Structure 1
Amino acid sequence: MKAIILSILSIILVVILVIGNIHWNNREDNPLSNTHPTKEADGEVENKKNKDQYFSLDDYMSFAKSWPESAQKVLEEKLTEKQPFHILLVGSDEIGDQELGLITPLQEALASKYDKYVTIDSLTYDGTSSDYVNNNEYESIIEQKPDMIIMEPFLLNDNGKKLDISITLTNINQVISATEDALPDVTFVLMPAHPLYNVSFYPMQVSDLQKYADSKDITYWNHWEAWPESNDLKLKDYYVELGDRSQANEQGFKVWSSYLSKKLISE
């Protein structure tokens, strides 16, 4: 009887060992059977969670403290609703393009600080301010529905065609009025094109543009402060002559875009 009981216990023990070995092998062959996630998986989930949840209204608003107050107000409203604030850079070919110009460095700078919540695009027009108004080109601005417009108002083009500054200012006023009628919450910022070396008439036009902006309570960003003085020969190293016109070169656009970046992103 004792021998029979020992035999039965031995058989049970063998069965338990076999089942245990099979279960262990299955765990090794199938790592997904592990009910506890790895530290690496934990980290990926946590990083995604942090990225999705990180949003600081105070941080974004502190970056925009150099913006016009009206634009800051709209930005805060947009951020509260987690909607993007859209900036439109408008001007002549003097502001350049994606390959060489203001738009690419500004897009990169804004994305690095505001993430997806502040965007910027550009519209250029190769003509005078009168051409722009007569052809109703400002409608392309309205179609974009920007929240803020940074405008270089074709001043060098007008200068090249010898348009009187009074005509330029009248055209600017019409563009602003038509845009504000369609987009009541839009904010305008005016700025000149790049400076020129040793000229007399063009700086006077730029001065009149600034006076116009002041009289209309329009923000004016004078990036000429960051360039060499107009009577400094070094200024010629910052732009190139292109037949009957000129354009900032890589060094010039670097100075110009850096100035605008500092206005758009306060540190």
Structure 2
Amino acid sequence: MKTFSLFLLGIICAGVLVYGNMYWQERTSVSSEEKSTVVTESASEEKVTDNEKDVDSLMGNWPEEAQATFKKTVATGNPYKLAIVGSLALGADENGWSEQVKTELTDTYRDTIEVKIFQYDTTSLTFVNGENVDEVLEYEPQLVLFEPFALNDNSNGVGGENNQESIQIFERKLKEQNEEAVLILQPTHPIAGATYYPMQIEELKEFAEENGIPYVDHWSAWPVDDEEALGELLVDSQEMPSEEGHAVWADYLVEYFINE
């Protein structure tokens, strides 16, 4: 009888030990899963925060209105629309600065941005009063980088005042379609040996400042005071940049739109 009691007690003790071990393993497993979930969620939240900080930093040079609209648009799951508009100096057909900037923007901001190039061989007056401006507006851009045909105007007898009036008309049409749309002005490339043209560009810069229009002064990256060096950055006719000139223009704009 005593032997049987000891045997029964042994079985009970063994059962308690097995059950206790199974219970402890289960609790340990659950605890690990919970910790893993917490760590994963924390890392995910940290990654999102870091990404937001990265974007804020990259967009540091953008107009504040454009930054705000960009974030609001991306939050809805839609891409932010940026249009590059101007003359043949954009070099869109020959991997010019506009194509290079487009590539850098889409590589950096990925699917949060959509970039389209609108290149026209025209003057500012013809652009703003014809079908070209309608084509741009049909795209519904939220940000427009505008080279307002300054060199074309200079070559075709369109004065600076007319150029500025065309800019105002374009901006008004842009705002009527979308009051949150932002216009950024930039000059056409510099040319060697010019007298009136640099004055016209200076007036364009002053016009932008007086009217609160963001102005990207890429001329500061060109050797404007060295005709020989400047000539090497332009094609023979000076109507557009050479391959090296496009690189100078593109590098300046990439640093503006991607503040690394």
One-letter amino acid of the structure 1 residue matched with residue 87 of structure 2: S
Counting helix residues as a fraction of each chain, which structure ranks higher?
2
2:66 matches 1:71: yes
**Percent identical:** 28
SS of the aligned residue for 1:192 comes to coil
| Equivalent position of 1:189 in the other structure | 184
> What is the root-mean-square deviation of aligned Cα atoms in Å?
2.0
One-letter amino acid of the structure 2 residue matched with residue 261 of structure 1: V
2:214 matches 1:219: yes
- Distance in structure 1 (CA, Å) of the matches to 2:103 and 2:159: 37
Given that 2:91 and 2:99 are in contact with CA atoms closer than 8 Å, whether structure 1 keeps it comes out as no
- Distance in structure 2 (CA, Å) of the matches to 1:96 and 1:263: 19
| Equivalent position of 1:265 in the other structure | 258
1:71-127 Cα distance to aligned partner (Å, 9 max, x none): 011011123233211110000111111433123211221123211112211101111
Structure 2: unaligned runs, 5 residues or longer:
1-42
- Distance in structure 2 (CA, Å) of the matches to 1:83 and 1:58: 20
One-letter amino acid of the structure 1 residue matched with residue 248 of structure 2: V
The worse-fitting range, judged by mean Cα deviation, of 195-204 and 129-138 is 129-138
| Equivalent position of 2:94 in the other structure | 99
| Equivalent position of 1:157 in the other structure | 152
- Distance in structure 2 (CA, Å) of the matches to 1:117 and 1:84: 4
> Residue 255 of structure 1 is aligned with which of 245, 248, 255?
248
SS of the aligned residue for 2:212 comes to coil
- Runs (4+) off by over 3 Å: none
1:136 CA displacement: 4.2
Go from structure 1 to structure 2 and tell me whether the alpha carbon gap of 1:69 and 1:95 turns closer, same or farther (over 3 Å shift).
Answer: same
| Equivalent position of 1:40 in the other structure | none
One-letter amino acid of the structure 2 residue matched with residue 134 of structure 1: N
Structure 1: unaligned runs, 5 residues or longer:
1-49
1:232 CA displacement: 3.6
1:190-233 Cα distance to aligned partner (Å, 9 max, x none): 00111011211000000111111111100000001111124442
| TM-score, with structure 1 as normaliser | 0.76
- Distance in structure 2 (CA, Å) of the matches to 1:86 and 1:76: 12
> Residue 53 of structure 2 is aligned with which of 54, 58, 69?
58
Go from structure 1 to structure 2 and tell me whether the alpha carbon gap of 1:200 and 1:144 turns closer, same or farther (over 3 Å shift).
Answer: same
| Equivalent position of 2:120 in the other structure | 125
Aligned residues: 215
One-letter amino acid of the structure 2 residue matched with residue 262 of structure 1: E
1:138 CA displacement: 1.3
Q: Write the mapping of 1:14-33 to structure 2, written as runs, cut at 5 A.
A: none
